[in-house]
A and B are shown apart, each in its own frame.
Chain A
Amino acid sequence: MKFKIIPILSILFFFIVFAIFFKALQKTSFYTPNINFEKEIPSFSAKIFKMDIEKNSEEIFIGNQFYLINVWASWCVPCREEHNFLMKLKEQKNLKIIGLNYKDKEKNASNFLRELKNPYDQILIDENGTIAIEWGAYGVPESFLIHKRKIIKKIIGPINENLYSEIEGIIQ
């Protein structure tokens, strides 16, 4: 009796291991954090682009409006891809776009905006990348959609056609 059970069990065991590995192969090993969650926005203060003032997050995100905070840099190539969509989103009435200029030089950033036009209502400066960390961002570009001081959507990587229409859908 015992002689039969062990083979069957071990074969069964290896089959399960096989199945799990097989399933794991279909998944990607690149990490994407949970995207759908509602969270309070972090509190921080940041310098304003080309101005010598510092603002608190409480002063920036006010009222019932939607905000889109977009982490960008002039040296970031995919940022150029999403720029057009940002320009289109600028047209939206109840959406304000806040830029978070990530580890950039002021001169390069100005040139970038002059070349591609400026979609931002306000630009904050993140000189050493710490504000992006507070937001839970780990690279450029990333964007967060905010409503009533809550993050309602997190976008990793450039905004594309689909994401654009999704944002449009949410804010209307």
Chain B
Amino acid sequence: MKNIKLILVFIFLCFLNINQSLANEKNLIFKITKNLRCLVCQGQSVHDSDSEFANSLKIVVQKKIDEGMSENEIYEFLKIKFGDWILYDPGLNKKTYILWLLPILLFLIGGAIIIKFFKINKIK
């Protein structure tokens, strides 16, 4: 038993070392373009798309990063140009309170129902 576990652990650590060098290379442009909707495609992100629009937008985002704009500034910039539709991450604002909070609310209600279930049980 113990041996098996040790072997498993060892194997996993080996796997991870192989990929270590690759892990650090994630960069900002991928993160940003993955969060942008390609407006001329059907449900694809700019990062994933190879359309003319997406390719140009990738260049623009890279340029803005080089100019020293932060991630949020770039989102703001694109939101003004193309509207909220371009962002895959709908931030928490007036339009999206229900979107973000309703699932959490339902979760709490679910919890309450389960607790109530036990209370009824106890009484009976």
Contacts and interface: CB of A to CB of B under 8 A. Distances in A.
Interface residues of A, number: 15
Contacts of A138: 39-40, 53, 82
A139 B52 CA distance: 8
A138 B56 CA distance: 9
Given A138-B39, A138-B40, A139-B52, A130 B85 contact: no
Interface stretch (B23-31, B57-65, B111-119): B57-65
Interface in B78-117: 80-83, 85
A139 B60 contact: no
A129 B56 contact: yes
Given A31-B39, A129-B53, A136 B82 contact: yes
Interface residues of B, number: 15
Contact of B60 (A31, A33, A39, A130): A130
Given A31-B39, A138-B39, A139-B40, A133 B85 contact: no
A33 B82 CA distance: 7
Nearest to A132: B56
B110 to A, nearest CB: 17
Nearest to B85: A31
29 contacts: A31-B39, A31-B85, A33-B82, A33-B85, A34-B83, A39-B80, A103-B56, A128-B59, A129-B52, A129-B53, A129-B55, A129-B56, A129-B59, A130-B56, A130-B59, A130-B60, A130-B63, A132-B56, A133-B57, A133-B60, A134-B60, A134-B81, A135-B81, A136-B81, A138-B39, A138-B40, A138-B53, A138-B82, A139-B53
Given A31-B85, A133-B57, A133-B81, 11 more contacts: A103-B56, A128-B56, A129-B53, A129-B59, A130-B60, A133-B56, A134-B81, A136-B81, A138-B39, A138-B82, A139-B53
Interface of B: 39-40, 52-53, 55-57, 59-60, 63, 80-83, 85
Closest 7 CB pairs of A and B: A129-B56, A136-B81, A133-B60, A138-B53, A138-B39, A33-B83, A130-B60
